[in-house]
Structure 1
Amino acid sequence: MSTLNILSGGAAQGLVGSVATALRTQTGFEIGGEFGAVGAMADKLRKGAPTDMVILTAAIVAQLAEEKLVVPASIRDIGLVETALAVRVGDPKISVTDAAALREAFLGSDAIFVPDTKVSTAGIHVAKVLGQLGLAEKVADRLKIFPNGATAMRHMAESDARHPIGCTQSTEIISTDGVVLSGSLPPGCALATMYTAAVTTQATSAQQAQRLIDLLTAADAQEQRKGAGFVSGPK
């Protein structure tokens, strides 16, 4: 069976998986490629990795369009994803209503699981928030950093820490067994990121890539997007 190669932020992995059967039925194509930190995925495209389509942040996709690596006419917003808090299944949920409460939540944890703080959307934001809260040095030895949010959440689920907490994009939390979405980040610390899909200029299966984009952004896929953690649909 033919394979559609995509490079995608980890935030979209659950949603893409939910339409894989429909794509296979309609086109005969399986979904292949890689899900990871958006910066790393964009760099793979720039270095020539065989790619039919990308799902990355709107800002990165716009940049790739300027670099003539994606087809401008194919660009479609999928929806917004919040950076949020996670706890293990069975642990008390953490609710934070302001920056002070978030600071206490981080201080009260003995392990903080996050994605790459240099190339992932959520990881970069977590690093910014920890600095904003004056915690960068205080919790440095508690940070458990992984290549992407999904990997960070899998490790948190298996952690033997007493009070671990995770902070990554809500979609990655929802799609990982053993962890649960605990709540959004409070005002002043929150982040909602628009994820956008596009067909690459090097695509060998452009028609099938466009079909996948149609499935991801269809009006009747609204409940699938919501269930996967997207807080709003395409514009």
Structure 2
Amino acid sequence: MTQNPSQERDRAGPMAPAGRGRRALLLGAAALPFLARRAAAAELVVFSSGGLNAAYLTLVPAFQQQTGHSLVSVQASSMGAAPDAIPQRLGRGEPADVLLLASGGLEPLAARGLILPDSRVDIARSLIGMCVRAGAPKPDISSVDAFRQALLNASSIAYSASASGVYIENEMYRRLGIHEQVMPKSRRILSERVASVVARGEAEIGFQQVSEILFVEGAAYVGTIPEPVQLPTIFCAAIPAKAREPEAARALIRFLASPEAAPALERTGLEPLNRG
């Protein structure tokens, strides 16, 4: 029997919304993986001390591209009483998801319960280096005796307020037997790279982690201090107890400690602890 066209339209009409609904459902299902990736993306606040900061910043784009996470980077010293030091920031309740700092600065934080247990991962080994202003003569520091004499001859000395500076002030000068002679002309630098102070001519020589000297314009790297009075520092990563994104934080720490990150660490004067 021949159907009236209007009857055909009437029969087709109720079917159309159902077809559109099925198509919408299929499109929605196809979008689920993308939406899941977007939902999983996190914003991480990273407190990074100077020793690791140069390497960390070069690795940020690769991590963000690989994971979809975004990083908010805050430079902060590992220890000390400066307002921007990591202990002071955490003490004020500033939010953070990852800490990158010297192991000596981490231990007191862990003792205060400010770090997630078992979240520490060691990333790189660092040495103390010496710098002078670009164009200035570089003192001989190839032996302990030559190094001692260079310190006695210097008109002014600058050192970090963080791990290397604490060692220099409290131990190295005493081991060299010149604490009384050089402390009056030595200056602890807060919240700034020591090499920047030397580059401006405000100190004749300066000491800091090698990675914090190499890329400062206007400063010249002299070398590492002699092995008998050297203090290697282990830089590590950890997760604060109040981290908002602990799983994403673990992903960042795994990346920074991976063989993939090793070349960036080496380029900035650090010794990676995991080359693969």
TM range (shorter): 0.7 to 0.9
- Asked if structure 2 preserves the Cα contact closer than 8 Å seen for 1:54 and 1:197, the reply is yes
- Asked if structure 1 preserves the Cα contact closer than 8 Å seen for 2:42 and 2:248, the reply is no
* RMSD between superposed Cα atoms in Å: 2.4
Once residues 182 and 108 of structure 2 are traced to their aligned partners in structure 1, the CA distance between those partners, rounded to angstroms, is 34
Q: CA 1:112–1:3 in 2, change beyond 3 Å: closer, same or farther?
A: farther
- Candidates 201, 224, 232, aligned match of 1:159: 201
Cα shift at 1:151: 2.5
| Residue 22 (structure 2) aligns with | none
- Candidates 268, 272, 276, aligned match of 1:228: 268
Instruction: Report percent identity of matched pairs.
Output: 24
| Residue 123 (structure 1) aligns with | 165
Cα shift at 1:4: 2.4
- Asked if structure 2 preserves the Cα contact closer than 8 Å seen for 1:20 and 1:31, the reply is no
- Candidates 75, 79, 94, aligned match of 1:34: 75
Structure 2 counterparts to residues 69-80 of structure 1, below 5 A: 69-80=114-125
Once residues 268 and 154 of structure 2 are traced to their aligned partners in structure 1, the CA distance between those partners, rounded to angstroms, is 27
| Residue 209 (structure 2) aligns with | 169
Q: Give unmatched runs, 5+ long, in structure 2.
A: 1-40
Per-residue CA deviations over 1:21-78 (Å, capped at 9, x if unaligned) read 1233232413232322424313432442211111122244344334432223432111
Q: 2:168 is aligned with what amino acid?
A: V
**Structure with the larger helix share:** 2
| Residue 14 (structure 1) aligns with | 54
| Residue 208 (structure 1) aligns with | 248
Cα shift at 1:135: 2.4
Q: 1:99 is aligned with what amino acid?
A: V
The secondary structure found in structure 1 opposite 2:228 is coil
- Asked if structure 2 preserves the Cα contact closer than 8 Å seen for 1:8 and 1:38, the reply is no
Once residues 104 and 132 of structure 2 are traced to their aligned partners in structure 1, the CA distance between those partners, rounded to angstroms, is 29
Q: Give unmatched runs, 5+ long, in structure 1.
A: none
Once residues 52 and 78 of structure 1 are traced to their aligned partners in structure 2, the CA distance between those partners, rounded to angstroms, is 17
Task: Tell whether 2:190 aligns with 1:147.
Answer: yes
| The structure with more radius of gyration | 2
- Candidates 72, 93, 102, aligned match of 2:138: 93
Once residues 74 and 160 of structure 1 are traced to their aligned partners in structure 2, the CA distance between those partners, rounded to angstroms, is 40
TM-score, structure 1 length as denominator?
Answer: 0.86
Structure with the greater relative contact order (CA < 8 A, sep ≥ 6): 1 or 2? 1
The secondary structure found in structure 2 opposite 1:84 is strand
The secondary structure found in structure 2 opposite 1:16 is helix
**Structure with the larger strand share:** 1
